[in-house]
């Protein structure tokens, strides 16, 4: 550990010896609704869950059948997980024989046409959300959009930034905070292979997802209708199967060195036509095929392991808001749904991620050039495809290192950070979590991906059956632990209000959808 980090840890320990240290976090958990036969649900989004457009905690992602469950920002991970548990309980109150799919990679699929597109009402905003999703389906196929994940939103408190600015003798401005968040982001990207190794839980997939595709030839036939990689960790994060589209990898060069360059390169992608996407018909069946024919329809289409974020005002261009007001929080996007947890995520995972994020902030952060970006991508690909193979080597500057050796060195570096967090939060679980991750580096059979394959092998079952069994198990779990009456009534009121909020948005529209789209594109062009 560098002397600089040691000094910062000492400063933080002293600064928070007599006051509360706090961070904010929230979760977004995606899950397909699946029928009793294990197929994507053909039923619309249940009305009792409220409006998909305006409900603060329950919406949909790509598909009408793909739930997205959200927790508000909270200081305690226990509170966050408790809230997520309650949202699951409410969802299950009316799902009848349907289950929420327990894994990132999808259930048994029957082609693009059997994956219903999410719709959000007749407002321009609602039409935009539907059109954007239609564009994703037309660009990359609807099957690809059935992949689910857990997103981890994290921010440091205002008081923390004040204290750190004082230590670093800097003005505590939005520009400086944004700079430091980007320092964190660059370091996290360099080390992103580590949480993928530890928490990747998608080493296999149902054959219905890959049959007849190029991915089929790149994966191992594991029998029982399953394809995968024996030493893989997270196919969701791979170029073989996941979100790393060919179009994006060839044409995007997003810069993480500072906020200006990040916004500029993303804006350029939203404003630059893509030859392939220009060939899509403008309308099909009375619906726009995409928001625009550019490399990205919006910044949301860009897949990366971690994003700089800010809550935009209603109707405001997100990149404009981010550029003007600075980074408010970061979003970790590399997490598979944990199939060994009813809510898809655990406190142990959160404690490790919090430790890693603080370490990434305190560690000196070199700027990224093209070569370093390529190295980051290569290391991730090595880990997602063969991370549990002992001979797998990663690039660390001029040298190559094994996953185990580099990972154990990092966990050793993280230990003082974990101890500090335990001290500041009156807990003992950050260091405990770190010790468990060290054990997974020593013994790869303890990783989530290895456990998935081991359970499949022990039970003699397919990937589909493994995930279906977990889904039914968690359905029983939530149905047997119903919400209290007062909490249930709170959720019901929230659902009812969401429809009122949607109607209010619809009533405010003053221009046609076509003009709305033109105005939106102009707002991006004005940033160039």
What is the rounded CA–CA span in Å between residue 269 and residue 273? Answer: 8
The pLDDT value given to residue 246: 52
pLDDT bin (cut points 50, 70, 90) of residue 1 is: low
Listed in sequence order, the residues at least 6 apart from 231 whose beta carbon sits closer than 8 Å to its beta carbon are 385, 386, 387, 388, 389, 392
DSSP letter string, 504-519 = HHHHH--S-HHHHHHH
Count CA atoms within 13 Å of residue 314 on its CB side. 11
The pLDDT value given to residue 4: 77
What is the rounded CA–CA span in Å between residue 58 and residue 381? Answer: 33
What is the rounded CA–CA span in Å between residue 308 and residue 397? Answer: 25
Mean pLDDT, residues 295-304: 93
Residue 460 above 80 pLDDT?
yes
Q: CB–CB of 386/193 below 8 Å?
A: no
Largest CA distance in the chain: 64
Residue 497 above 90 pLDDT?
yes
Residue 432 above 90 pLDDT?
yes
Mean pLDDT, residues 492-496: 98
**Can you list the pairs that 469-477 forms with residues at least 24 positions away whose Cβ atoms lie under 8 Å?**
470/102, 470/103, 470/339, 470/340, 471/34, 471/99, 471/100, 471/101, 471/102, 472/99, 473/102, 474/99, 474/100, 474/102, 474/342, 475/92, 475/95, 475/99, 475/100, 477/342
The pLDDT value given to residue 313: 77
Mean pLDDT, residues 475-488: 94
Residue 245 above 80 pLDDT?
no
Residue 480 above 90 pLDDT?
yes
pLDDT bin (cut points 50, 70, 90) of residue 375 is: very high
CA–centroid distance for 93 within its chain:
26
Determine how β-strand 329-335 pairs with β-strand 393-396. Answer: unpaired
pLDDT bin (cut points 50, 70, 90) of residue 31 is: very high
pLDDT bin (cut points 50, 70, 90) of residue 145 is: very high
The pLDDT value given to residue 306: 97
Closest CA to 197 of 473, 421, 406, 348: 406
What is the rounded CA–CA span in Å between residue 135 and residue 290? Answer: 4
Share of the chain above pLDDT 70, in %: 97
| Secondary structure element (H or E) that encloses residue 228, with its range | strand 226-228
Q: CB–CB of 70/189 below 8 Å?
A: no
The pLDDT value given to residue 281: 81
Q: What is this structure's pTM?
A: 0.97
The pLDDT value given to residue 242: 63
The pLDDT value given to residue 312: 86
Q: What is the CA radius of gyration of the chain?
A: 23
DSSP letter string, 344-389 = S--HHHHHHHHHHHHHHHHS--PPP-HHHHHHHHHHHHHHHHHTTS
The pLDDT value given to residue 3: 76
Mean pLDDT, residues 487-505: 97
Per-residue pLDDT tens digits for 151-162: 999 999 999 999
Share of the chain above pLDDT 90, in %: 90
Mean pLDDT, residues 410-423: 96
> Average per-residue pLDDT in the chain?
95
Mean pLDDT, residues 83-105: 96
What is the rounded CA–CA span in Å between residue 118 and residue 65? Answer: 8
Mean pLDDT, residues 461-486: 96
The pLDDT value given to residue 124: 96
Residue corresponding to tokens 């190029």: 214
Checking phi first, is residue 47 left (phi over 0); if not, alpha (psi -120 to 50) or beta?
alpha
Extended beta strands in 296-346, E state: 306-309, 329-335
Determine how β-strand 150-156 pairs with β-strand 23-34. Answer: antiparallel
What is the rounded CA–CA span in Å between residue 308 and residue 161? Answer: 16
The pLDDT value given to residue 243: 56
Per-residue pLDDT tens digits for 381-390: 999 999 999 9
Mean pLDDT, residues 484-501: 97
The pLDDT value given to residue 491: 98
The pLDDT value given to residue 290: 97
pLDDT bin (cut points 50, 70, 90) of residue 248 is: low
Mean pLDDT, residues 245-249: 54
Residue 61 above 70 pLDDT?
yes
The one-character DSSP state at 236 is G
Mean pLDDT, residues 503-518: 96
Query: How is residue 423 written in tokens?
Result: 């001290």
Domains observed in the chain: 3-525 (3.30.590.20)
Mean pLDDT, residues 31-55: 97
The pLDDT value given to residue 253: 79
Q: Is 37 helix (H, G, I), strand (E, B) or coil?
A: coil
More confident site: 276 or 180: 180
Residue corresponding to tokens 């029982």: 224
Mean pLDDT, residues 309-324: 89
Count CA atoms within 13 Å of residue 245 on its CB side. 17
């Amino acid at each position: 550990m560098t002397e600089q980090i040691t000094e910062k840890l000492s400063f933080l320990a002293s600064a928070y010896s007599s006051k509360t240290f706090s961070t904010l976090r929230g979760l977004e958990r995606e899950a397909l609704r699946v029928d009793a036969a294990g197929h994507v649900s053909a039923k619309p989004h249940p009305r009792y869950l409220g409006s998909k457009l305006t409900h603060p905690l329950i919406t949909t992602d790509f598909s009408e059948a793909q739930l997205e469950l959200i927790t508000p920002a909270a200081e305690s991970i226990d509170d966050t997980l408790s809230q997520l548990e309650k949202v699951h309980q409410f969802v299950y109150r009316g799902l009848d024989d349907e289950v929420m799919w327990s894994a990132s990679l999808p259930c048994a699929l029957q082609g693009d046409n059997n994956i219903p597109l999410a719709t959000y009402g007749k407002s321009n905003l609602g039409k935009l959300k539907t059109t954007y999703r239609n564009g994703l389906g037309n660009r990359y196929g609807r099957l690809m959009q059935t992949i689910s994940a857990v997103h981890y939103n994290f921010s440091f408190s205002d008081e923390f930034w004040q204290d750190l600015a004082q230590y670093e003798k800097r003005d505590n401005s939005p520009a400086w905070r944004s700079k430091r968040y980007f320092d964190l982001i660059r370091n996290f990207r360099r080390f992103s292979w580590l949480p993928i190794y530890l928490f990747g839980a998608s080493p296999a997939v149902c054959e219905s997802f890959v049959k007849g595709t190029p991915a089929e030839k790149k994966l191992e036939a594991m029998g029982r209708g399953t394809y995968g990689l024996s030493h893989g960790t997270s196919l969701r994060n791979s170029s073989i199967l996941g979100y790393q589209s060919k179009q994006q990898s060839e044409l995007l060069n997003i810069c993480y060195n500072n906020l200006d360059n990040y916004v500029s390169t993303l804006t350029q992608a939203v404003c630059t036509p893509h030859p392939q996407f220009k060939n899509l018909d403008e309308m099909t069946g009375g619906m726009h095929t995409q928001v625009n024919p550019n490399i990205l329809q919006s910044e949301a289409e860009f897949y990366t392991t971690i994003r700089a974020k800010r809550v935009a005002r209603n109707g405001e261009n997100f990149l404009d808001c981010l550029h003007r007001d600075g980074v408010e929080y970061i979003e970790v996007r590399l997490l598979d749904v944990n199939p060994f947890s009813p809510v898809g995520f655990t406190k142990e995972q959160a404690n490790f991620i919090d430790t890693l994020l603080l370490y990434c902030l305190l560690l000196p952060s070199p700027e990224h050039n093209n070569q370093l970006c390529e190295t980051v991508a290569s290391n991730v690909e090595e880990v997602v495809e063969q991370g549990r193979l002992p001979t797998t080597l990663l690039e660390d500057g001029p040298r190559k290192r094994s996953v185990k050796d580099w990972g154990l060195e990092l966990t050793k570096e993280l230990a003082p950070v974990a101890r500090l967090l335990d001290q500041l939060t009156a807990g003992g679980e950050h260091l405990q979590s770190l010790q468990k991750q060290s054990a997974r580096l020593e013994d790869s059979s303890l990783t989530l991906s290895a456990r998935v394959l081991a359970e499949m092998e022990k039970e003699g079952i397919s990937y589909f059956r493994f995930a279906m069994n977990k889904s039914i198990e968690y359905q029983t779990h939530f149905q047997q632990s119903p919400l209290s009456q007062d909490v249930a009534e709170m959720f019901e009121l929230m659902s009812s209000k969401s429809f009122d909020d949607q109607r209010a948005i619809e009533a405010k529209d003053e221009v046609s959808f076509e003009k709305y789209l033109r105005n939106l594109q102009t707002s991006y062009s004005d940033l160039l």
